[in-house]
């Protein structure tokens, strides 16, 4: 068996694939953040809590209404996205004319409230959520055993990321959105309802977070704090990718997943910090991020 740096190549491929799968989660989550920041200039600290809400609403749909995983994938983003719209209408919209830092502080406060409420209600050990029948089991690829669900994660993530990128960069709706954030007054003068577009954009970003939450429910612990530490890592991904760049976040998400996966093989103790180290380096060399343009 050949070895690279003391690790058998077979094992290495397995780890690379795992890294790609994790990268899919990072990409999905950072996509929502990037959409919200890129188009609205808001740092959505609540993203982690909204991811968590996605997983919990999926659990509730199953527990109370008997609706399974596939229903959840469709319905949950709509429900949580709706809560996002409410937040935007009631609170965020009042802050647009102020320094962006206030938006960050507001969403930080909201994250604390949401997490605290869920913790009060559901405790901290977490809730069980079972794997959908169609996706359980897996295939032996020779160099590793790949659970079907993990393969599904990559596929779903690629589809969603690709679709989002396409909508924003290549369609008329997307161009309206991008124009509206660059020059809202002018675009409004053209008769386009700018505030509504902004609201819908925020709702869409939140829906993406909730979607990631439903995807996570079968494999990660469904607990109120599941988003809290993850959100910091996702911030790092978005900053590295370039805070306004959709494509940047997607590519960075996948690549950093792979980098983290490799670190877990060669130097696992550092796998938590490697993303932050990269972020610090990128910020020193290219402060707008790898794909970003400084605003």
The footprint of another protein on residues 119-178 (CB under 8 A) is 119-120, 123-128, 130-131, 137-138, 144-145, 147, 149-150
75, 96, 100, 184: residue in contact with another protein (rule CB under 8 A): 100
Binding mask 41-60 for another protein (x = CB under 8 A): --x-----------------
Judged by beta carbon, residue 79 or residue 236, the one nearer another protein is: 236
* Two tokens, residue 131: 């794997």
Based on the shown chain and the rule CB under 8 A, indicate whether residue 104 belongs to the binding site for another protein: yes
**Which tokens in the block code for residue 229?**
């530490």
Binding status of residue 93 toward another protein by CB under 8 A: no
CB 58 within 8 A of CB 72: yes
Tell me how far, at minimum, the Cβ of 171 lies from another protein, in Å: 28
Where do the H-state alpha helices sit in the chain?
A: 9-40, 47-65, 69-90, 100-122, 148-170, 172-182, 184-189, 194-216, 228-241, 246-266, 274-285
Q: How far is the CB of 203 from another protein (least distance, A)?
A: 19
What is d(CA 237, CA 37) in angstroms, rounded to the nearest whole number?
13
Distances (CA, A) of 216 to 24, 86, 113, 171, 235: 11, 24, 22, 30, 18
Per-residue binding letters, 259-288, with another protein (x by CB under 8 A): --x--xx--xxxxxx--xx-xx--xx--x-
Q: How many residues does the chain have?
A: 295
- The Cα–Cα gap between 127 and 222 comes to 5
* Window contacting another protein (CB under 8 A); options: 7-15, 58-66, 69-77, 201-209: 7-15
Q: Which of 57, 226, 237, 256 binds another protein (CB under 8 A)?
A: 226
CB of 189 to another protein, least distance (A): 28
CA distance linking residue 277 with residue 279, whole number of Å: 5
Binds another protein by CB under 8 A, chosen from 4, 186, 232, 293? 232
60, 95, 151, 290: residue in contact with another protein (rule CB under 8 A): 95
Report the nearest approach of another protein to the CB of residue 275 (Å).
8
Establish if 18 lies at the interface with another protein (CB under 8 A). Answer: yes
Q: What is the dihedral of CA 22, 27, 33, 39, to 10 degrees?
A: 180
Residues 6 or more apart in contact with residue 123 via CB below 8 angstroms: none
Q: Taking contact as CB under 8 A, which single stretch among the options 53-61, 67-75, 77-85, 89-97 is the one that binds another protein?
A: 89-97
Which of 82/144 has CB closer to another protein?
144
Residues in binding contact with another protein, number by CB under 8 A: 75
Cα–Cα distance measured from residue 249 to residue 145, given in angstroms and rounded to the nearest whole number: 29
Please pick, from the candidates 111, 160, 180, 215, the single residue that binds another protein as defined by CB under 8 A: 111
């Amino acid at each position: 068996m050949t070895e690279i740096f003391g690790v058998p190549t077979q094992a290495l491929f397995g780890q690379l694939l795992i890294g790609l799968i994790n990268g899919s989660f990072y990409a999905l989550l950072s996509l929502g953040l990037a959409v919200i920041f890129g188009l609205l200039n808001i740092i959505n600290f609540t993203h982690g809590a909204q991811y968590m809400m996605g997983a919990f609403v999926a659990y509730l749909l199953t527990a109370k209404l008997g609706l399974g995983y596939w229903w959840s994938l469709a319905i949950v983003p709509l429900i949580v996205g709706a809560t996002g719209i409410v937040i935007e209408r009631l609170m965020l919209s009042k802050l647009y004319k102020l320094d962006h830092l206030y938006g960050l502080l507001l969403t930080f406060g909201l994250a604390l409230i949401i997490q605290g409420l869920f913790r009060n209600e559901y405790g901290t050990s977490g809730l069980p959520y079972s794997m959908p029948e169609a996706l359980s089991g897996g295939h032996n690829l020779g160099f590793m055993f790949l659970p079907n669900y993990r393969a599904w994660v990559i596929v779903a993530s690629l589809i969603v990321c690709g679709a989002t990128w396409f909508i924003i960069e290549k369609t008329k709706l997307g161009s309206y959105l991008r124009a509206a954030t660059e020059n809202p007054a002018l675009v409004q003068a053209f008769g386009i309802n700018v505030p509504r577009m902004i609201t819908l954009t925020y709702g869409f970003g939140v829906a993406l977070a909730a979607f990631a939450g439903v995807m996570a429910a079968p494999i990660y612990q469904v607990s109120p704090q599941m988003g809290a530490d993850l959100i910091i890592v996702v911030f790092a991904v978005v900053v590295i990718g370039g805070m306004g760049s959709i494509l940047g976040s997607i590519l960075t998400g996948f690549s950093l997943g792979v980098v983290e996966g490799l670190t877990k093989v060669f130097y696992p103790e550092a796998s938590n910090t490697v993303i932050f180290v990269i972020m610090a380096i990128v910020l020193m060399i290219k402060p707008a991020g790898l794909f970003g343009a400084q605003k």
